[in-house]
């Protein structure tokens, strides 16, 4: 027994989880601090959270190219995790930036909001650093539980309640699938360590067709694909995205989605890479299905939040194309795309945050009629984000899609690439329609309620800078994404 | 200075756009003046290209610039690689030449949000110039897509009654084609790497040397050809054009007709044909057939139009059919004629759209039946309209004649003899629809009271249209100024496509261009 403890202690390497540790401790301290503060009196929690995120980012960056492993192979702070950590931190920071004024407007200036965002970021980081199914599951739970609360954060609003409850019920259900899948894989391989699972399968090739292994793989895929919102497991997305507070919607579409991708890719490429033949076909079909579902249903949406929800489904489909390709370009393109998507989508949501009235009943296409004339600068920034979502150069969305389809073509998936670009073409229609309303219709409102709140404006400007930067000089970031491969 | 001439020319309008964006909003006069000055300076910057004699003897790219732009480890290189040769030379000049005219033409027509309008025009100029000078497929694609954005807004915001439909249709049609081309571009890149040919980025010159397997060429060619066919536009993917042309504001129509349609034909010349010569030969009869259908169909539909602007739009379909036929002749005369006709169409149809704009600004209608007898009230206008009409029909001594004559001659000398026979009827049909329209608008009784008070052209309007009229005669009388600079590059292209060297070119071209000169002297 003593020996066991000793071995365990020797294996402890806090450096491997340092970013999550710092962020978790900050979040707890912040929670405590809130107890002594008058609610909504200052923006202090907001700034402290940003500080904590900055510290986390700094610690993460310091570990670049100096991978740390710890806890007997349960967690790793390798380049892969660091890259994703930065995406999460970025998404969280931008979300927090746009939240302060929003929470005040909606009448919920509550302190625990920020720690919850931080906790969900911790969960996301654990998922990316998790090299063991247990750590990944732990991360997923931390992430999800915080998000369930955040989705239903406006407890006085029916839609928000619906979002929280729906997300919780379906999420819990899908987590069950994931856990069951993990159990089956453990049953076959006798280990929960992702790398060991990979080693096991490469040594026991006959086990690859073991129904338990295949079943475990399918169940795990279901759990992950639910979180990423891949069709047909995307049904929760529109309602949850529409009902949640807008900054949280922005966060969910960028951070947790990327986290699920991070864990999914690590498990499936490292752990179940030898099983590729049995999952690649399935993912091929699901990628196409997701793109088609997301894009075609988005066409008929009139609420912008809901439209962006469906568009985020479609974008998950594009990213999945990179995973199907499963080659160096494809995978690094997925990493790149997660970052690009965080910029462009959070930017678009920031405009919605700025343009919304209390209760956000005006976030419809009609509500944006003439927005381009009354609020030209905001409209131009939104336009840039939308063009990026369409994938028109020179924007982050274009380079991202370019790399992804390049990965697919390099791996020989010509039809997948063609279907992908055709889907992009479909998506033009609904993104363009927003511009049609903003620029081609006469204004019905004077948009006098729109004020350029500093936080959300900063978030928007940062997003647009990011979109253009990744669009015009993507080399540096793409090279980083490439170094981040395991 | 001269080594960065092309970059300076291309990005000067972009710089101008930033200046325009920083100017205060209500100062319409200032905004217009700044834009006009920027486009004029751009034209002046481009002039050394037009005067450079090097193109007479050399088929190579000149004024090249090369900067490593995107490079991700050992995969993916994209270069900022630009240059100009005899094929793109006149298209570049046409662009810089048309832009100030387009700006000047909107002096009074645009009242709403002048700042946005001018900024978009300048952005459009950068995108168009960039597309013509790109020597890297990836770079070309970026400019090609970038072109869509300003034009979409120009049509959608400042267009006519049906503008939203037209703008969205324009955007989606073009984007669908170009997305498929994107797949083909990436595929080509990997194919090039796979075959081990030294490929630096998406360099066109490297891709030319690939020697792709004919079976594969077929698919890649289809993707490229489809994308460019939409832009040309060729029958049957032309349907966005009448809508976009009719709804666009005057400057938009002028730029669309004069420059943007040429992107499609230029795409064939620079990319689709030389990259995939085997596939081209395979599809040649079909493409020629579509061109001829376009010529005749466009002319017939133009004849039936009640709206002058729509008539001009359909005439574009017909004229671009000629250009395509000239390209597919695959001989020096045909391709020279096609390139010249690209320029001619830019000048003549650009001028026609300007003329339609003039009368629309006066009467706010474009229906033929609302006019009649205008020549009595507006003699100067009538003269200019007549000249432009005749140039569009292709009367000798005007530019249209030289272009169409060369194209038809080229086609007769090639395998496309029978296509040329049918295409010739397009010339006759053009005379029918243009002259019939002219007669109904300009002659007859001046019976409508609104028409009896119309003013003749103002000095500004004369400044807008006269440069084009000068070009009509210049090209009509001395086409060699233009032809001699494109011939070497064209011959190299033909060699590339057919694999046969072209001998003694100048002797082939001169006689055909001579008759007009003789006539004049």
Give A64-91 pLDDT, tens digit per residue. 888 888 887 888 899 999 999 999 999 9
Cβ <8 Å between A410 and B153: no
Beta-bridge mates of residue B367 = B307
Kindly list the residues from chain B whose CB atom is less than 8 angstroms away from the CB atom of residue A435. Answer: 152-153, 156
Contacts of A410 (CB under 8 A, 6+ apart): A325, A327, A329, A330, B190
Give me the total of CB pairs closer than 8 Å, taking one residue from chain A and one from chain B: 92
CA distances from B204 to A46, B73, B81, B196 (A): 52, 21, 10, 16
Q: Whole-model pTM?
A: 0.87
| B498 CB-contact burial (10 Å; exposed 0-12 / middle 13-18 / buried 19+) | middle
Q: How far is B112 from chain A (nearest CA, A)?
A: 10
Nearest to A474 among B70, B141, B186 (CB): B70
pLDDT, tens digit, 9 for 90 and up, residues B13-51: 999 998 888 888 778 888 889 999 999 999 999 988 888
Element (H, E) at B463: helix B459-477
Share of chain A above pLDDT 90, in %: 52
Q: How far is B17 from chain A (nearest CA, A)?
A: 14
Could you give the CA distance from residue B175 to residue B167 in angstroms, rounded to a whole number?
12
pLDDT at A445: 82
How many residues does this entry show for chain A?
Answer: 486
pLDDT at B502: 67
pLDDT at A20: 92
Beta-bridge mates of residue A193 = A132
Torsion angle of C-alpha atoms A306, A310, A315, A317, degrees rounded to 10: 160
pLDDT at B503: 55
| B57 CB-contact burial (10 Å; exposed 0-12 / middle 13-18 / buried 19+) | exposed
Could you give the CA distance from residue B307 to residue B319 in angstroms, rounded to a whole number?
18
Domain extent at residue A205:
2-483
Q: B109 touching A, CB under 8 A?
A: no
Nearest to B145 among A392, A406, A432 (CB): A392
Domain count, chain A: 1
pLDDT at A307: 92
pLDDT at A285: 94
Q: A439 touching B, CB under 8 A?
A: yes
pLDDT, tens digit, 9 for 90 and up, residues A94-110: 999 999 888 888 888 77
User: Do the strands A68-70 and B75-84 form a parallel or antiparallel pair, or are they unpaired?
Assistant: unpaired
Which of B 172-191 lie inside 8 A of A, CB atoms?
172, 175-176, 179-180, 182-183, 186-187, 189-190
Kindly list the residues from chain A whose CB atom is less than 8 angstroms away from the CB atom of residue B167. Answer: 436, 440
Q: Quick one: CA dihedral A237, A240, A246, A249, positive or negative?
A: negative
Average pLDDT over residues A15-35: 90
CA distances from B405 to B343, B420, B476 (A): 14, 11, 11
Nearest to A405 among B72, B113, B186 (CB): B186
Q: Which two tokens stand for residue A134?
A: 């247990």
Spell out the SS3 assignment of B402-449: HHHHHHHHHHHHCCCHHHHHHHHHHHHHHHHHHHHHHHHHHCCCCCCH
pLDDT at B515: 45
- Residue of B182, B188, B252 to mutate when probing chain A, most A C-beta within 10 A: B182
* Residue A473, SS3 per DSSP: coil
pLDDT at B374: 82
Cβ <8 Å between B153 and A402: no
Nearest to B183 among A387, A421, A432 (CB): A421
Kindly list the residues from chain A whose CB atom is less than 8 angstroms away from the CB atom of residue B140. Answer: none
Closest CA in chain B for residue A405:
B183
Cβ <8 Å between A373 and B113: yes
pLDDT, tens digit, 9 for 90 and up, residues B136-189: 888 899 899 889 889 988 888 888 888 888 888 888 888 888 888 888 888 888
Kindly list the residues from chain A whose CB atom is less than 8 angstroms away from the CB atom of residue B189. Answer: 406
Q: How far is B90 from chain A (nearest CA, A)?
A: 26
| B151 CB-contact burial (10 Å; exposed 0-12 / middle 13-18 / buried 19+) | buried
| pLDDT lower than 50: segments of chain B | 504-521
Kindly list the residues from chain B whose CB atom is less than 8 angstroms away from the CB atom of residue A331. Answer: none
Q: A380 touching B, CB under 8 A?
A: no
Closest CA in chain B for residue A394:
B142
Q: How far is B70 from chain A (nearest CA, A)?
A: 5
Kindly list the residues from chain B whose CB atom is less than 8 angstroms away from the CB atom of residue A403. Answer: 76
Closest CA in chain A for residue B167:
A436
pLDDT at A199: 92
Q: A389 touching B, CB under 8 A?
A: no
Nearest to B71 among A410, A435, A475 (CB): A475
pLDDT at B451: 77
Q: A432 touching B, CB under 8 A?
A: yes
pLDDT at B338: 92
Q: Give yes or no for residue A268 having a pLDDT over 60.
A: yes
Q: Give yes or no for residue A258 having a pLDDT over 90.
A: yes
Q: Is the ipTM of this complex over 0.85?
A: no
Average pLDDT score over chain A: 89
Cβ <8 Å between B190 and A410: yes
| B255 CB-contact burial (10 Å; exposed 0-12 / middle 13-18 / buried 19+) | buried
The answer to whether the peptide bond before residue A394 is cis (omega within 30 degrees of 0) is yes
pLDDT at A389: 93
pLDDT, tens digit, 9 for 90 and up, residues A217-240: 999 999 999 999 998 888 899 889
């Amino acid at each position: 027994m003593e020996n066991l403890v000793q071995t365990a202690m020797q294996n402890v390497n806090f450096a491997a989880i340092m970013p999550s540790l710092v962020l978790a401790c900050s979040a707890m301290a912040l929670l405590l601090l809130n107890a002594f503060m008058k609610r909504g009196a200052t923006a202090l929690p907001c700034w402290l959270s940003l500080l904590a995120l900055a510290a986390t980012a700094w610690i993460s960056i310091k570990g670049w190219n100096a991978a740390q492993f710890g806890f007997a192979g349960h967690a790793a702070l390798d380049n892969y995790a660091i890259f994703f950590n930065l995406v999460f931190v970025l998404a969280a920071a931008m979300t927090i930036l746009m939240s302060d004024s929003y929470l005040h407007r909606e009448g919920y200036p509550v302190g625990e909001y920020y720690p919850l965002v931080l906790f969900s970021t911790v969960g996301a980081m654990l998922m990316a650093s998790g090299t063991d199914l247990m750590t990944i599951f732990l991360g997923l739970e931390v992430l999800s539980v915080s998000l369930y609360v955040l989705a239903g954060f406006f407890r006085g609003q029916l839609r928000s309640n619906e979002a929280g409850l729906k997300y919780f019920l379906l999420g819990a259900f899908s987590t069950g699938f994931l856990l069951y899948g993990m159990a089956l894989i453990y049953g076959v391989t006798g280990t929960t360590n992702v790398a060991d699972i990979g080693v096991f399968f490469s040594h026991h090739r006959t086990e690859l067709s073991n129904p338990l292994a295949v079943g475990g793989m399918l169940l795990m895929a279901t759990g992950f694909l639910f979180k990423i919102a891949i069709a047909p497991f995307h049904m929760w997305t529109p309602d949850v995205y529409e009902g949640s507070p807008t900054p949280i919607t922005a966060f969910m579409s960028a951070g947790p989605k990327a986290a699920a991708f991070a864990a999914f890719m690590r498990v499936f490429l490292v752990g179940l890479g030898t099983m590729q033949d049995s999952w690649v076909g399935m993912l091929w079909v699901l990628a196409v299905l997701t793109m088609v579902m997301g894009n075609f249903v988005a066409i008929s949406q009139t609420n912008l939040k809901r439209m962006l929800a469906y568009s985020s489904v479609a974008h998950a489909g594009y990213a999945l194309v990179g995973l199907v390709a499963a080659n160096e370009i494809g995978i690094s393109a997925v990493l790149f795309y997660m970052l690009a998507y965080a910029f462009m989508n959070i930017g678009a949501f920031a405009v919605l945050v700025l343009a919304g009235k209390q209760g956000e009943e005006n976030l419809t296409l009609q509500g944006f009629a003439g927005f381009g004339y009354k609020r030209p600068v905001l409209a131009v920034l939104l336009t840039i984000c939308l063009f990026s979502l369409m994938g028109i150069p020179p924007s982050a969305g274009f380079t991202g899609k370019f790399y992804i389809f390049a990965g697919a073509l390099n791996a020989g998936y010509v039809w997948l690439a063609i279907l992908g670009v055709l889907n992009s073409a479909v998506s033009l229609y609904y993104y363009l329609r927003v511009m049609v309303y903003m620029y081609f219709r006469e204004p019905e409102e004077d948009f006098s309620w729109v004020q350029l709140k500093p936080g959300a404006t900063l978030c928007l400007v940062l997003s647009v800078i990011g979109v253009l930067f990744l669009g015009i000089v993507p080399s540096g970031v793409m090279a980083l994404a490439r170094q981040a491969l395991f | 200075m001269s080594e960065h001439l092309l970059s300076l020319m291309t990005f000067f309008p972009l710089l101008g756009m930033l200046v325009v964006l920083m100017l205060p909003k209500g100062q319409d006069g200032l905004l217009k003046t700044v834009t006009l000055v920027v486009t004029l300076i751009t034209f002046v910057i481009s002039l050394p290209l037009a005067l450079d004699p090097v193109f007479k003897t050399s088929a190579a790219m000149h004024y090249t610039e090369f900067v490593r732009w995107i490079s991700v480890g050992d995969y993916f290189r994209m270069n900022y690689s630009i240059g100009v040769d005899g094929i793109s030379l006149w298209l570049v000049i046409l662009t810089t030449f048309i832009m100030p005219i387009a700006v000047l033409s909107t002096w009074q027509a645009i009242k709403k949000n002048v700042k946005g309008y001018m900024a978009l025009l300048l952005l459009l100029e950068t995108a168009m110039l960039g597309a013509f000078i790109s020597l890297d497929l990836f770079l070309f694609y970026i400019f090609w897509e970038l072109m869509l954005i300003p034009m979409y807004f120009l049509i959608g915001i400042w267009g006519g009654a049906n503008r939203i439909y037209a703008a969205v249709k324009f955007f989606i049609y073009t984007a669908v084609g170009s997305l498929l081309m994107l797949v083909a571009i990436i595929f080509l890149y990997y194919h090039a790497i796979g075959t081990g040919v030294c490929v630096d980025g998406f360099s066109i010159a490297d891709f030319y040397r690939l020697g792709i397997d004919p079976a594969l060429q077929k698919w890649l060619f289809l993707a490229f050809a489809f994308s460019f066919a939409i832009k040309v536009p060729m029958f049957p993917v032309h349907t966005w054009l009448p809508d976009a042309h009719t709804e666009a504001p005057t400057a938009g129509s002028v730029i669309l007709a004069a420059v943007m349609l040429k992107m499609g034909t230029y795409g064939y010349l620079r990319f689709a044909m030389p990259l995939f010569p085997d596939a081209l030969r395979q599809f040649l009869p079909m493409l020629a057939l579509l061109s001829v259908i376009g010529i005749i169909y466009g002319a017939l539909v133009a004849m039936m139009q009640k709206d002058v602007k729509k008539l001009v739009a359909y005439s574009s379909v017909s004229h671009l059919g000629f250009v395509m036929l000239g390209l597919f002749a695959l001989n020096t005369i045909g391709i020279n004629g096609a390139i010249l006709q690209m320029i001619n169409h830019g000048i003549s149809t650009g001028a026609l759209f300007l003329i339609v704009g003039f009368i629309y600004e006066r009467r706010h209608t474009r229906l033929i039946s609302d006019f009649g007898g205008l020549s009595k009230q507006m003699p100067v206008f009538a003269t200019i309209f007549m000249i432009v009409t005749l140039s569009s029909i292709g009367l000798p001594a005007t530019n249209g004649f030289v272009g169409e004559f060369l194209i038809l001659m080229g086609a007769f000398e090639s395998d496309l003899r029978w296509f040329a026979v049918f295409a010739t009827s397009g010339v006759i049909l053009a005379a029918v629809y243009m002259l019939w329209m002219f007669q109904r608008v300009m002659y007859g009784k001046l019976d409508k009271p609104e028409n009896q008070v119309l003013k003749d052209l103002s000095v500004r309007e004369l400044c807008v249209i006269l440069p084009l009229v000068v070009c009509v005669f210049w090209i009509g009388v001395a086409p060699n100024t233009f032809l001699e600079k494109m011939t070497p590059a064209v011959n190299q292209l033909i060699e590339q496509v057919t694999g046969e060297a072209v001998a003694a070119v100048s002797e082939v071209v001169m006689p055909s261009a001579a008759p007009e000169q003789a006539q004049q002297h």
